[in-house]
């Protein structure tokens, strides 16, 4: 006897609206990382001028990136905290320059400041990537709603100074889902329509917990929102192996494949070429 399956009480979102362009996430997308910072943990200072930044964007686009994630502030442990005006100064006009050179590429802005979001919106960004879940700037959710841009909601501890150091002792999936349930309700009430969920790999999580999240990714908020996985060059991969951040590509791609199998829709990466190979393998097998 066939037993009917009850429909999920939660809506399932498979597309996002980026400034009127409907992006289909039924197939995974690659988000290439562009750090404009002098102090990022693996590529600090390499792309913090216009020429090198545009060359890096060209490289990532040619290798298969769908989104370029532009960040002007490092969020590594013990990084210096910069103000919104300093962040904006670092950004300069690189967003509009990228848009001019690569009009088809989507640009996300990695910031936890509403002021920087407003600046980026005027420059042409397509998504907001906020590691703070709106907790480092109480105007962030309102600003996200006013722009109408898709908002990437990451799981993180409540304060900047404890986002790495305060470890979670509860079941990590339950903790993440509880956090997301509260934040999604707030965003919806504000009027934010498109939400992407990022479990926040490496932020206040033990090595074992990071791997648990990958293994149980399909349980993150019931699989109803698009999931972004950002594990590229993270210490929970390389430190236990006694390797460096630049020497774990094979291990990273194995975890990327597992993430895709468990529902990841966006992979945020430094190495676009190898990630494209992983996605192609996933789609063809």
Residue 70: strand pairing partners? 34, 109
19 among known catalytic residues: no
Which entry of 234, 258, 276, 277 is annotated as an active-site residue? 234
Helix (H, G, I), strand (E, B) or coil at 6: coil
Which entry of 99, 233, 265, 268 is annotated as an active-site residue? 268
90 among known catalytic residues: no
Please state, as a whole number, how many other Cβ atoms lie within 10 Å of the Cβ of residue 209: 22
Contact of 30 with 279, CB cutoff 8 Å: yes
Query: Which residue do the tokens 């906020």 mark?
Result: 130
Which among 153, 151, 217 has a CA at the least distance from the CA of 179? Answer: 153
Cα 205 to Cα 200: distance, rounded to the nearest angstrom: 8
Residue 91's region, left for phi above 0, alpha for psi from -120 to 50, else beta, is alpha
Distance between first and last Cα of the chain: 31
Q: What are phi and psi of 125, to 5 degrees?
A: -65, 155
Active site residues: 234, 268
């Amino acid at each position: 006897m066939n037993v009917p399956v009850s429909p999920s009480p939660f809506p399932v979102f498979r597309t996002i609206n980026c400034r009127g362009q409907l992006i289909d996430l039924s197939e995974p997308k690659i988000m290439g990382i562009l750090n404009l910072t002098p102090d990022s943990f693996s590529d600090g200072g390499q792309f913090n001028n216009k020429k090198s930044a545009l060359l890096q964007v060209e490289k990532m686009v040619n290798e298969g990136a769908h989104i370029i994630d532009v960040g002007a502030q490092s969020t590594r442990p013990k990084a210096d905290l910069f103000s919104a005006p300093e962040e904006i100064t670092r950004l300069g006009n690189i967003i509009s320059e990228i848009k001019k050179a690569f009009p088809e590429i989507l640009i996300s802005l990695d910031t936890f400041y509403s002021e920087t979001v407003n600046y980026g919106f005027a420059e042409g960004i397509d998504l907001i990537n906020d590691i703070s879940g709106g907790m480092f700037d109480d105007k962030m959710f309102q600003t996200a709603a006013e722009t109408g841009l898709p908002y990437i909601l990451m799981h993180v501890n409540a304060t900047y100074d404890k986002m790495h150091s305060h470890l979670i002792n509860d079941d990590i999936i339950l903790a993440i889902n509880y956090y997301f349930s509260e934040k999604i309700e707030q965003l919806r009430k504000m009027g934010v329509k498109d939400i992407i969920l990022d479990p926040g790999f490496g932020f206040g999580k033990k090595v074992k917990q990071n791997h648990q999240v990958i293994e149980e990714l399909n349980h993150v908020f019931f699989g109803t929102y698009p999931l972004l996985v950002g594990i590229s060059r993270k210490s929970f991969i390389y430190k236990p192996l006694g390797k460096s951040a630049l020497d774990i590509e094979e291990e990273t791609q194995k975890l990327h494949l597992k993430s895709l199998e468990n529902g990841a829709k966006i992979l945020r990466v430094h190495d676009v070429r190898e990630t494209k190979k992983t996605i192609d393998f996933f789609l063809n097998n």
